[in-house]
Amino acid sequence: MIPDAECLKVIHEILTALQVGDFLIKINDRRILQGIFTICGIPEIKFERICSTLDKLDKISWEEVKNEMILEDGISPECVNCISEYVQLHGGPGLIEKLLKDPKLVQNRLAMEGLEDMKLLFEYLTLFGIIDQVSLHLSLARGLAYYTGVIYEAILLCQKHSHLNESLSLRSVAGGGRYDELVAKFDSKGHKVPCVGLSIGVERLFSIIEQNNEKIRTTETQVLVATPQKNFLTFKMKLISELWNAGIKAEMLYKKNPRLLEQLQYCEETGIPLAIIVGEQELNDGIVKLRDVVTRKEVNIPQENFIEEIKRRLEKYNT
Amino acid sequence: MIPDAECLKVIHEILTALQVGDFLIKINDRRILQGIFTICGIPEIKFERICSTLDKLDKISWEEVKNEMILEDGISPECVNCISEYVQLHGGPGLIEKLLKDPKLVQNRLAMEGLEDMKLLFEYLTLFGIIDQVSLHLSLARGLAYYTGVIYEAILLCQKHSHLNESLSLRSVAGGGRYDELVAKFDSKGHKVPCVGLSIGVERLFSIIEQNNEKIRTTETQVLVATPQKNFLTFKMKLISELWNAGIKAEMLYKKNPRLLEQLQYCEETGIPLAIIVGEQELNDGIVKLRDVVTRKEVNIPQENFIEEIKRRLEKYNT
């Protein structure tokens, strides 16, 4: 359970660092689910199908899922009611203790294995200090057939996203689990390799962060070398080379003679914090014009000091 | 030519940063080569084949290449002699000027285009301050058929590698060029997209650095949490979690009860600079033992200060 706990810690770290607000990581175990299905009298051949139907719970209501199980998956209403009793449960270590004593579940070896491991996992998550954002949800199924043990899914809870439509704000932003039999299916000798893995919903998280009006930069450029002059390439390339050699991330527009406004707009759009502006006048005076893109303030700096001055400012921006 | 110059600057930066000693970037242009082949009377259909044969020059001698052109590629000795005169030339801007006035080459439009661009490229490389490591080599052909313009290859020259066999020390460690027609071949509408690209011989560079007895770390782990005690997992996980939360890269061995020696050897083999050792005694005394893996010196540190002390030491190591 240590690698499983580490995966959950990784998800927790990422979602915390992204500052997307409160989140909850729902956990379950395929073995517990299979145990529940077995004691509710569902034939093994239907397990995968029922998992897929259960997985729709984040899109449709429990009533609709129940109907689909009865009408489409061909499960009897009694069996569905039996499943219903279990899958609506969620909680922490207390729930695990209760389930470990459940008179029906104790008869299922697989479910007991899953619950014992879940107990251990919650101990590790306590040591990692992330127990408050984690909860056992017996309804969590995950769509993919290859999971064999612990499964998890992270959802955002925060009020911060109340302006988003609910389906987006509640949908999963990370997920994963254990899949101990997947490698053997592809290995010519059928060697079993235990695996854990997780995925982060990068696109979804980006769109949430963007909807909070935070701009995400797609480049790391720190300085744009710009000019109002035509045919000023040579001097721009000399300056850019000096910036690169000093370890500063610099670029210029490839376009032959872009207008100065276009070059400054490019900085504002892409979040480049500093621009160096050079023209005939600056070249003759031995200076460069340094522009703070956000405040639009410009200062003249002697050419021999410009690298130092830029470094000093970048330290301040911490970019 | 700006993107081409930038690629060469990137290769130069990487090889300089890796400190693998002196290197030379050979440059040529497919258009210049094709011009030479044309004026030497080689049919166009054989251009690709001749490029492949020329490309063997870093493995076999010019005499052997000549023989292969005559015997295998079916080129007449006169044509081969004509090629020979050109492809043995190498140099800088002076050679470019000379070739621009070459009475046979001036009649070939493609060669003149290539030479004019080469002249411009050398101007940019001068601005970027990397001209001393770059040289026009008319024998450089590169094996791949898709290049359409400038091509280049970097080789190591340094005495530092004299203990390697010569073929390894002289073989290419980076290469690239312009391929303006490759995208159109795969685009359903045949849109032409100009491209430049380069590759770095990572495996070859690694083996050269390793043969210089410099160890290359494959992980960034800064601290290993170790214990001589059996069943000490809980305390180890608590400490590792504190380290992670402080932004320190920490790990422990997954093996259930590894011997202490094994844990310390793991640090030495993988270059982890620090180890924390905790056992019954340390737990009771409220301390952790901090070991400098290189010097093997150990000090006891109060548990409440251990994060700070580790941070202080890591800053010193600058890892």
**B129·A234 Cβ contact <8 A:** no
pLDDT digits (tens, 9 = 90+) for B200-233: 999 889 888 888 777 778 889 999 999 999 888 8
**B127·A2 Cβ contact <8 A:** no
Task: Say what the ipTM of the complex is.
Answer: 0.73
Return the H-helix or E-strand segment holding A267: helix A260-270
Q: Is A146 annotated as a binding residue?
A: yes
Average pLDDT, chain B: 90
Cβ within 8 Å of residue B20, ≥6 positions away: B156, B158, B160, B161, B173, B205, B208, B209
CA angle A124, B305, B259 (to 5 degrees): 55
> Testing the interface with A: which of B8, B122, B127, B249 to mutate, by most A Cβ within 10 A?
B127
**A129·B9 Cβ contact <8 A:** no
Return the H-helix or E-strand segment holding B3: helix B2-17
> Does residue B165 contact residue B19 with C-beta atoms inside 8 Å?
no
CA-to-CA distance for A47 and A53, rounded, in angstroms?
Answer: 10
Minimum distance, in Å, between the CA of residue B284 and any CA atom of chain A = 19
pLDDT digits (tens, 9 = 90+) for A39-87: 999 998 998 889 889 888 878 888 999 999 999 989 999 999 999 999 9
Give residue A163's pLDDT. 52
CA-to-CA distance for B228 and B216, rounded, in angstroms?
Answer: 28
Give residue B169's pLDDT. 47
Strands (E), chain A: 23-29, 90-91, 134-137, 150-156, 172-178, 196-200, 223-226, 250-251, 274-277, 287-292, 298-302
Give residue A202's pLDDT. 92
CA-to-CA distance for B100 and B136, rounded, in angstroms?
Answer: 13
Give residue A169's pLDDT. 47
pLDDT digits (tens, 9 = 90+) for B22-47: 999 999 999 999 999 999 999 989 98
Average pLDDT, chain A: 90
**B3·A254 Cβ contact <8 A:** yes
pLDDT at residue A25 greater than cutoff 90: yes
Token output for B258: 């590894």
**Residue ranges of chain A whose CB lies within 8 Å of a chain B CB:** 2-3, 5, 9, 13, 123-124, 127-129, 233-234, 237-238, 241, 244-245, 254
Give me the total of CB pairs closer than 8 Å, taking one residue from chain A and one from chain B: 36
**B254·A9 Cβ contact <8 A:** no
CA-to-CA distance for B256 and A111, rounded, in angstroms?
Answer: 25
Distance of CA A46 to the CA centre of its chain: 32
Range in A44-53, A88-97, B274-283 with the lowest mean pLDDT: A44-53
pTM score, whole prediction = 0.71
A127 vs B9, B124, B237: nearest CB: B237
pLDDT digits (tens, 9 = 90+) for A120-156: 999 999 999 999 999 999 999 887 788 999 999 999 9
pLDDT at residue A158 greater than cutoff 70: no
B chain contacts of residue A3, beta-carbon cutoff 8 Å = 254
Give residue A170's pLDDT. 60
Minimum distance, in Å, between the CA of residue B141 and any CA atom of chain A = 28
A chain contacts of residue B3, beta-carbon cutoff 8 Å = 254
pLDDT digits (tens, 9 = 90+) for A204-240: 898 888 887 777 788 899 999 999 998 888 899 999 9
CA-to-CA distance for B16 and A299, rounded, in angstroms?
Answer: 34
- Candidates B162, B138, B230; CA nearest to B21 is B162
**Residue at B54: amino acid letter:** L
The pLDDT of A246-267, averaged and rounded, is 93
